[in-house]
Amino acid sequence: MQAMVFPAAGAPLEQREVPRPTPSAGQLLLRVLACGVCRTDLHVLDGELTEPKFPLIPGHEIVGRVESLGPGVDDVQLGARMGVPWLGWTCGECSFCRRGEENLCDWARFTGYQLDGGYAQYVVADRRFCFPIPDRYDDVHAAPLLCAGLIGYRSLRMVGEARKIGFYGFGAAAHILVQIAAWQGREVFAFARPGDAAGEAFARSMGAVWAGPSDQPAPDPLDAAIIFAPVGGLVPQALRAVRKGGTVVCAGIHMSDIPAMPYEILWGERTVRSVANLTRRDGDDFMRVATQVDLHTKVIVFSLAEANRAIEALRAGKVHGAAVLVPG
């Protein structure tokens, strides 16, 4: 099969012909229909996530058709359309797994990081961590749901009943989440990169009630804020924007250092917390929501061979929405 391979630290992706994988016990073999390009992929390729396997096939927002079943899999039909997310395997036995906190499993392995992912024509995946895709979404528009949607949804749950929410960084996750927040009757205030007028307009078009640059204060006190941009300097800004008792959620897997800040902006029982990975419950719950809300994902489509170009577009901030690879 054809795949885009990350051969070594610091190297660009290389298009290679590699053996088609064979499903082991408990696994599915899927023919990849589409794979989203996530900011986490940039963190892997840029060395900010430091434990990838080499060589590696990246990609963890995968939509595929089941081609064959590994031993022990008897609950999926051949030809079924399934989604494969970031969390690819957990031990099922540690204290975190037994408490339903499998997202924190110390032995977890991740798709497109320690496990080969979807920048390829075929992929194998653990059946336990594959989700049926609602029929209302085509392959390309479903791909961003598998991480941007899932992690965004987990982040939204972290803010409880907050009604006025600030989104810092308006990319793939935020443009999905703002639609769910509006459906729930909440208001989203979007903070884009300073000078990114197109990003602000995009946020308003997707349902934000206000959009402005991230270095400016919020127009109203916020109940909560979710930081999608991997910029630690946004944490003090978000804390200043939320009311007493408010919550700031750091939604990314990687963030630059949080600068020193005065205690007074944390005081007042404000909370800062992170989101780590996802659970199968998150996936099941989010896909149920996706059947009720007609989520519109804005995508830019690239061929598999154009993966490096898609990555550079995302890195340069030229993707408003999500980039998606489609195997030829």
In the chain, where does the domain assigned CATH 3.90.180.10 lie?
2-149+277-326
Which H or E element spans position 110?
A: strand 109-110
CA pair distance 96, 306, nearest whole angstrom: 39
Q: Residue 162: what residue type?
A: A
CA pair distance 131, 122, nearest whole angstrom: 17
CA pair distance 281, 173, nearest whole angstrom: 18
Architecture of domain 152-274: 3-Layer(aba) Sandwich (3.40)
Three state DSSP letters for 242-297: EEEEEEEEECCCCCCCCCCCCHHHCCCCCEEEECCCCCHHHHHHHHHHHHHCCCCC
Structure tokens at 244: 């007493």
Q: State residue 328's pLDDT score.
A: 78
Q: State residue 278's pLDDT score.
A: 92
Q: State residue 262's pLDDT score.
A: 97
CATH 3.40.50.300 fits 2-149+277-326, yes or no: no
0.75 cut: is pTM over it? yes
In the chain, where does the domain assigned CATH 3.40.50.720 lie?
152-274
Instruction: Note down pLDDT in tens along the chain; length 328 residues.
Output: 999 999 999 999 999 999 999 999 999 999 999 999 999 999 999 999 999 999 999 999 999 999 999 999 999 999 999 999 999 999 999 999 999 999 999 999 999 999 999 999 999 999 999 999 999 999 999 999 999 999 999 999 999 999 999 999 999 999 999 999 999 999 999 999 999 999 999 999 999 999 999 998 999 999 999 999 999 999 999 999 999 999 999 999 999 999 999 999 999 999 999 999 999 999 999 999 999 999 999 999 999 999 999 999 999 989 999 999 999 7
Structure tokens at 124: 């194998």
